[in-house]
Structure formats: structure tokens, C-alpha cells
A and B are shown apart, each in its own frame.
Chain A
Amino acid sequence: MSMQDIIDTLAGIEPGSALDAIRARRLQARENAQKSYLSLFEPIDAGDVSLLERAAVAAFVTGLHGESPVATFYREKLAAGAGGAALLESIDAEILRGKTSGPYGSYPAGPLSVENTAGLIYRVSAASKPSLGARLAAALEHAHLLLFRPRDAASSDMKALLDAGWSTTGIVTFSQLVAFLSFQVRVVSGLRTLAAVNAQKEAAS
């Protein structure tokens, strides 16, 4: 593969390290996590979701997880892309407005209702709407729902995206993007934690 593995890069895994060897035992998963990243950010067809939309959503989603090498990476990716710099200010402002703790939300009425937990129903600010546009504003609102209160998702949320100009195929790609990033940011966080624990142990011995 021409490009270095993105999870290894973000988690700081060096070739020849113990974690490199462990990841090599799940080679198909490692290669296909990389292919997932490439097919989302360097797609053969960006007709239904533009590269700019992908980068903006990625900066928003990873930023909502808090500061991390992953969030920095996608923020820089947005800044470096065509039209991205103009969106940075709005994305940063929306991350601040959207930050909360999850998962929360409601279950179908019944025995699980006692577990219903209220929380922020995020909406894009009026100030950010002109720079984001209707499609991206709807996407950020839906991404926030996916991230923090996925069990609240309803068919009406699909309609909101369709009404904002998203195609059915675009909704699938966009949903995969948010869901994939939810995976990637956690794998990186987990691997970094393990590496840090081991580095501390080595330093102490």
C-alpha cells in the first residue's frame, strides 16, 4: 500500500513495535480499516457526497470527541482542501456548541423507558447556517444525533436529510462516514492507551 496506515499513524504505532506485531495478526481487518478510510476520503465517485462535505463532517465528528491526534488530523484535512478554510470557523464554533456526553436518548415506550436519558438536541446556530448551507447544516445535526443519541434516530430524520437535498445513496455514504469515524477514533484511542501503559511500565523497570 502506497500510503502509511492511517490508524498506525494516528496511534503512533511504529513498524517493528509490539503493537505493530499484534495488529499484523489481524491483517485483513487492518487493511480493510485502511480501505474504508480511503473509500470514504478518496472515493472513486464523490457525486453524492462531495469531498468538502466529507472533510467538514469528519472535522465536526472527531472534534466532538474532544482534542486528540485524530481530531487534529481531520481539522487539518478540512483546512487543506478546496473550500475548507472558509468552513473552519463555523465548524469550530459548532463543535463548541455541540459538545456533550453520550450516549443518551429514548427507547421505544415499554420496559426500557426507565432508561430514557435526556440530553442536548443539537441544532446548527443561525450564525453558521449561511456559511454551511442547508445540506451541511442538516448533515451536522444528523451526525450529532448519530454520535450522542443514536437510539433516538427515527424515519423522520431520514426525511430531514432528503428534504435538505441528500440522495438516498448520499445518506448511506454519509452515515458510513460518521459510523466509521466513531470506530476509528476509538481504535486509535484504545491503542494509544495500551501503548502509553506499556511505555510507562518500560520506563519504570
Chain B
Amino acid sequence: MSATVNPPVAFTQDELGWVSWIDPLPEAELTERHYAGLVDRSRAKSEYFRLLVRDPEVLEARTKTDKDIFYNVADGLPRAERELAAAATSRYNGCIYCASVHARFASTYSKRRDDVQRLLDEGVKADLGERWNAVVKASVALAATPIAFGPDNIAELRRAGLDDAEIVDVINGASFFNWANRLMLSLGEPSK
């Protein structure tokens, strides 16, 4: 919609904008039903969320699913590795915007910015050490259609030290980005 879109042509950890291809709801038209869908009122400032809020019930449920999978770190997989699963899935599906956000989070929580950058630069086959390789490989296997995730992925994750609860966090995090990537890639585009 904006005439000034400057789409990135490579994966990056830089902050990107996102521009919708179809009309988001104007902020002035949002009702309490919409704000319930946005969950955080501040999301009314985002073009992406003002587009998705056209179906507020689905957006609310999607947002709460997302938040618990990634932010509930009372137990289970460290946040850095949940973000790694999100970034790897996004790299494999080709979502430059999603990969930028979650690569940044993976870097912040792991302090391994160079390794995260190698995932973006070299792709999902980059050698990031046993544990990260297992998480990336499992995420990629889940993202493939038909789904390629199998007992070998579970065995690899266990050898890398993950217990069943942590493996479920990988499954949830990677699966969720097959949801997120498809919305971000198809309803609009990133802009530098």
C-alpha cells in the first residue's frame, strides 16, 4: 500500500518493517472486541495486527498460543533454543521478516550472535554444534511437507541432552512458525 517499500533481499538480524497488501482496520474503528483480539493494546499500532484483528477471536487464540509456547520459561527448553527453532523454521520456509525477529531473539538469549548469523547466511545446514544442530534439524524436518520428522529426530535431540518436555517445546515452537510464516509471507511484505 505504501509507495516506499524497500524489500530486503537477504536474511538479516536487522529490524525490518512490514507492509500489508490488503487493508488493515483503521485504528479509529477498533472496538473492545478488537482490543480483546489484540491482547496487548499497544499492538493497535502494528499494521500486521490491525489486519489480523479483522478476525479477533482467531487472533486472540493465536496470540495466547504463541506467548505461552515462547515466553513460558518456568520449565522446559531455554528461550534461546525456542527462538532458534523459530528462526530455523523461518529460514527454511523463506520468511525473511520472521527470521529477522527470531534470529535477534535467539542472539539476545544465547549470546551466540555469530552462530545465529551463520544460520541466516549459510542456511539450515550450517554446523552450529550438536545441540543446536539437533534443534535446527528437527525444526526443518517438521516444516517439510510431507512432514519428515521421525524417530531419528527424537533420538538426536535426546543425544543432545533434551528431555521429553524440552522436545515438546521444540515441536511446539517449530510448528507454531509454520503458522506465523505463512501469514507474514502471504499478507504483506517486509521493508528495510
Contacts and interface: CB of A to CB of B under 8 A. Distances in A.
Given A32-B65, A66-B146, A157 B58 contact: no
Given A107-B96, A115-B123, 5 more contacts: A66-B147, A103-B145, A150-B185, A186-B147, A194-B154
Contacts of B17: none
B94 interface: yes
A111 B11 CA distance: 10
B186 A157 contact: yes
Contact of B7 (A108, A175, A196, A197): A108
Contact of A105 (B22, B94, B189): B94
Contacts of A175: 182-183, 186-187
Contact of A197 (B8, B55, B67, B154): B154
B164 A194 contact: yes
Given A66-B146, A182-B179, A36 B75 contact: no
Contact of A33 (B65, B183, B189): B65
Residues of B contacting A: mostly: helix
B147 A183 contact: no
B149 A189 contact: yes
The size bracket of the interface on B is: 35 or more
A182 B69 contact: no
A29 B143 CA distance: 19
13 contacts: A22-B168, A35-B57, A40-B58, A107-B94, A142-B186, A150-B94, A158-B22, A175-B183, A180-B62, A183-B178, A186-B142, A189-B142, A197-B154
Contacts of A109: 9
A185 B72 contact: no
Interface of A: 18-19, 22-23, 25-29, 31-33, 35-36, 39-40, 43-44, 64-66, 101-103, 105, 107-112, 115, 142, 145-148, 150-151, 153, 155, 157-158, 162, 168-169, 171-173, 175-176, 178-180, 182-187, 189-191, 193-194, 196-198
B145 A178 contact: no
Interface of B: 7-11, 21-23, 51-52, 54-55, 57-62, 64-65, 67-69, 72, 74-76, 92-96, 123, 142-147, 149-151, 153-155, 164-165, 167-169, 171-172, 174-176, 178-183, 185-187, 189
Interface-centre pick from B11, B123, B142 (highest chain A CB count, 10 A): B142
B11 to A, nearest CB: 8
